[in-house]
Structure 1
Amino acid sequence: MENYFKVNMNEYLPLRDVVFNTLRQAILKGELAPGERLMEIQLAEKLGVSRTPIREAIRKLELEGLVLMIPRKGAEVAKISEKSLRDVLEVRRSLEELAIELACHRMSEDDMRELEVVQGRFREAIAKGEAMAIAETDEHYHDVIYQGTGNDKLVQMLNNLREQMYRYRLEYIKDEDKRQVLLVEHEHILTALKSRNIAEAKDAAREHIDNQEITVSRNIKEKEQEHAGGSRGRR
């Protein structure tokens, strides 16, 4: 287990919530890899806490589907599966279309200018090739659109879904061949929003999500085949 992450104390949150948020982010960002075992003693030492909040956090992460309890082995980070990807994207596709429609009606000119600025940062991140920076600016781009809907409940639901999407977003961005496609897709959405063309904006958003599903599904299958091949080779 590499020493990638550390606990960020927050005086307004109970320790168990701070530990939970720390481990959750480490899983979502890939700092704790799919299939990696979660050893209570090691995690407690790494984060400088007792085993009790670690145990509570692992239990909550299991309820979210981010951790699996394996008989006689203990807890491990849940692997990324095609079904979980499909489940998340089916919901995201519907919510994104609603967000795009509302944003077409409600985004102000200032919002549009902000979206253009964020798209510029996204373009710079892709040029530098830093996966985490690309993921963060991609998130920021969508955040501007979500906030432009003026619907707090929708923003809350999309933000919750975004947390679950983080692992898939990183998996997509790791594919360097797709980064320029991502950039073009963002441009299409931006152009349609600026012209208040709801149908075109929805089509662009749908294509954006469909391409993500195709690419990440292919990556998952390739990893499963590699794992299966490796398992046969060890027999």
Structure 2
Amino acid sequence: MKDFMQENMDEFLPLREVVFKTLRQSILTGELKPGERLMEIHLAEKLGVSRTPIREAIRKLELEGLVTMIPRRGAEVAKISEKNLKDVLEVRTCLDSLAVRLACQRITDEQIDDLKKACDDFVLATKTGEATAITKADVKLHDVIVRATGNERLQQMINTLSEQMYRYRFEYIKDSAYHALLIEEHRRIYESIAARDEERAVAEITQHIENQLYTIRKHLHFTE
């Protein structure tokens, strides 16, 4: 968590924003686990700040749905909900299907090269075994596709959804058993977009998301 704190301090942000971003990142990456109590005194000591910015950060995190206030218990990291997972992935399927269709129509040769490089970078990231690096590489790959649509409103909607998806994506990616499948799925998505084959691209991205739903549910021990 202190590493996150230092990274954010380097951005010259107000202290309250640094604390908020640090706690938020710790939740998204799983350092602060679902159901874990957020003790103001403990967090203040750990980050070397007063309780005031901790309290402000917890309030903002509650508004984002990342923290839950429990009567007579206080704040805790929000538990991961299967319903929320399904809701997010249903919307993501629709938005990503539109994104790959538009990308097939509008992607430039330079962006095709960028997408190929993003696929290669993801492979390299998996070799590090570092979940945060792999997750960032995965996000960057999908960002190339979204930028290729040329639709700024769609980019905003997908970016907002991506923030909500981050915790689930991290759960999916941190298990190395699924890396080979992810690499293959990315390759097929790249090939379909490079060939400007809209129907194949939609089919590949839909299968990619369905596989994520299955894997995350299995990893988090959700039942049918």
Q: Could you tell me which residue of structure 2 aligns to residue 24 of structure 1?
A: 24
> Would the aligned equivalents of 2:5 and 2:18 in 1 still touch at CA under 8 Å?
no
Q: Could you tell me which residue of structure 2 aligns to residue 91 of structure 1?
A: 91
Q: Could you tell me which residue of structure 2 aligns to residue 57 of structure 1?
A: 57
Q: Could you tell me which residue of structure 2 aligns to residue 204 of structure 1?
A: 204
Compute the TM-score of the two structures, normalised by the length of structure 2.
0.92
Amino acid at match of 2:69: M
Does the alignment pair 1:104 with 2:100?
no
Q: Could you tell me which residue of structure 1 aligns to residue 175 of structure 2?
A: 175
Q: Could you tell me which residue of structure 2 aligns to residue 66 of structure 1?
A: 66
Amino acid at match of 2:171: E
Report the alpha carbon displacement of residue 187 of structure 1 after superposing the two structures with TM: 0.7
Distance in 2, Cα, partners of 1:80 & 1:35:
9
> Would the aligned equivalents of 1:5 and 1:31 in 2 still touch at CA under 8 Å?
no
CA deviation vs aligned residue, 1:192-224 (integer Å, no higher than 9, x gap): 0011011100110000000000111122226x9
Distance in 2, Cα, partners of 1:4 & 1:81:
28
SS of the residue corresponding to residue 5 of structure 2 reads: coil
> Would the aligned equivalents of 2:40 and 2:51 in 1 still touch at CA under 8 Å?
yes
Amino acid at match of 2:189: I
Distance in 2, Cα, partners of 1:197 & 1:113:
17
Q: Could you tell which deviates more after superposition, 51-60 or 195-204?
A: 51-60
> Would the aligned equivalents of 2:172 and 2:212 in 1 still touch at CA under 8 Å?
yes
Amino acid at match of 2:170: L
1:1-235 matches, within 5 Å, as 5-6=4-5, 8-9=8-9, 10-11=11-12, 13-221=13-221
Report the alpha carbon displacement of residue 124 of structure 1 after superposing the two structures with TM: 1.7
Report the alpha carbon displacement of residue 4 of structure 1 after superposing the two structures with TM: 6.1
SS of the residue corresponding to residue 221 of structure 1 reads: coil
Distance in 1, Cα, partners of 2:34 & 2:77:
5
Amino acid at match of 2:176: E
The alignment yields a C-alpha RMSD, in angstroms, of 1.8
SS of the residue corresponding to residue 79 of structure 1 reads: coil
Distance in 1, Cα, partners of 2:150 & 2:31:
34
> Would the aligned equivalents of 2:5 and 2:19 in 1 still touch at CA under 8 Å?
no
Amino acid at match of 1:203: A
Q: Moved runs in structure 1, 4+ residues, more than 6 A?
A: none
Report the alpha carbon displacement of residue 5 of structure 1 after superposing the two structures with TM: 4.1
Equivalenced residue count is 221
Amino acid at match of 1:179: H
Distance in 2, Cα, partners of 1:16 & 1:129:
32
CA deviation vs aligned residue, 1:51-101 (integer Å, no higher than 9, x gap): 222112111211211111111111111121211211111111111111111
Gaps of 5+ in 2: none
Compute the TM-score of the two structures, normalised by the length of structure 1.
0.88
> Would the aligned equivalents of 1:38 and 1:77 in 2 still touch at CA under 8 Å?
yes
Report the alpha carbon displacement of residue 127 of structure 1 after superposing the two structures with TM: 3.2
Shift of the 118–78 alpha-carbon distance from structure 1 to 2, 3 Å rule, reads same
